[in-house]
Amino acid sequence: MLLKQESFRARISAYIKANLRAYLPGLETAESVKSIPVEKDIAYSRPPNPTAADYDEQLRHVELRLARTEQVHTCKPRRCLIVTKSGRLRCKRRAPFACSKEDFINEDGNWGQKRLYEYMNGWIPGILVNVRCNNDAKLLTNGTDTTKTAWYCAGYAAKNQHRNYNISAILAKGYAYHLANLDRARAQEVDELRDKQRLLLFRLVHAINREQELGAPMVISYLMGWGDVYRSHHYTPIYWSSFVGALLGSFPLLRRAR
């Protein structure tokens, strides 16, 4: 097994240090974290210019400011604090987090980020600096975690049906069974009853539509053909080839030899 090899664990630890951070100089204690001001509008500023002479220093400074603003966890009622069966408050985000003086992974696959302040969320530096949003990451070291993550992503994207979501299919199936077990003498009676019920439902829906109060913005939107959604921004497509061209222009070493 690869995790039994010290050299492989050292590579994983280096990967964690580079991509799954929870510490930067200045984020050691609650006092040091509070000494860094919170910048609410930092998400609207641009990332550092890669061509700047002090780009690395700017990048570290921006990452520290973003980590202070976006990644510090604060427990509050009705946000993350829940009441346990014993009547105590517990953070559903599992804060305070485990601290460690270094990035590590052991032979059993248990890993951890360097974290000195217990309320510091982990982050991916590339996402934090360029997207400017709160984020987190998890290193998958075994098949169980990978399976759970795959099921979670599939269920979240596919919106799996619960027991009461397919009630229309259950009703249709029950109605088909009902018709299959009727004799011919009552079949005509059932058809007449069904037509009367359809007429009743139609009249009810028509009465609701006729008396419904509609907001003026909704009426104008329908009359103008604007649809049900109001878009406050104009979106312009950004083509990936333009991004790749700009990236290769700034970093020629990334070009592949053909």
Whether residue 34 is contained in a domain is answered as: yes
Q: Model confidence at 19, in pLDDT bands (50, 70, 90)?
A: very high
How is 30-69 classified by DSSP, letter by letter? HHHHHTSPP-TTGGGSPPPPTTSTTHHHHHHHHHHHHHHH
Number of domains in the chain: 2
46/42 Cα distance (integer angstroms): 9
Q: What is the mean pLDDT of residues 4-28?
A: 92
Provide the 10 A C-beta neighbour count for residue 116.
17
Whether residue 239 is contained in a domain is answered as: no
In this structure, the answer to whether residues 150 and 114 fall within a common structural domain is: yes
Q: Check whether 258 has a pLDDT greater than 60.
A: no
In this structure, the answer to whether residues 43 and 136 fall within a common structural domain is: yes
In this structure, the answer to whether residues 132 and 184 fall within a common structural domain is: no
Q: Check whether 164 has a pLDDT greater than 60.
A: no
Q: Check whether 198 has a pLDDT greater than 70.
A: yes
CB 73 within 8 A of CB 95: yes
In this structure, the answer to whether residues 86 and 207 fall within a common structural domain is: no
pLDDT tens for residues 199-238?
Answer: 888 888 878 777 777 778 888 888 888 877 777 777 788 7
Whether residue 229 is contained in a domain is answered as: no
Highest mean predicted confidence (pLDDT) among 11-15, 90-94, 161-165: 11-15
What predicted TM-score, i.e. pTM, was given to this entire model?
A: 0.60
In this structure, the answer to whether residues 151 and 187 fall within a common structural domain is: no
In this structure, the answer to whether residues 6 and 66 fall within a common structural domain is: yes
**What range defines the domain where residue 187 resides?**
168-223
Q: What is the mean pLDDT of residues 101-117?
A: 91
Whether residue 130 is contained in a domain is answered as: yes
Q: Model confidence at 163, in pLDDT bands (50, 70, 90)?
A: low
Q: Of the residues 155, 180, 214, which one is the last residue of a structural domain?
A: 155
Q: Check whether 120 has a pLDDT greater than 60.
A: yes
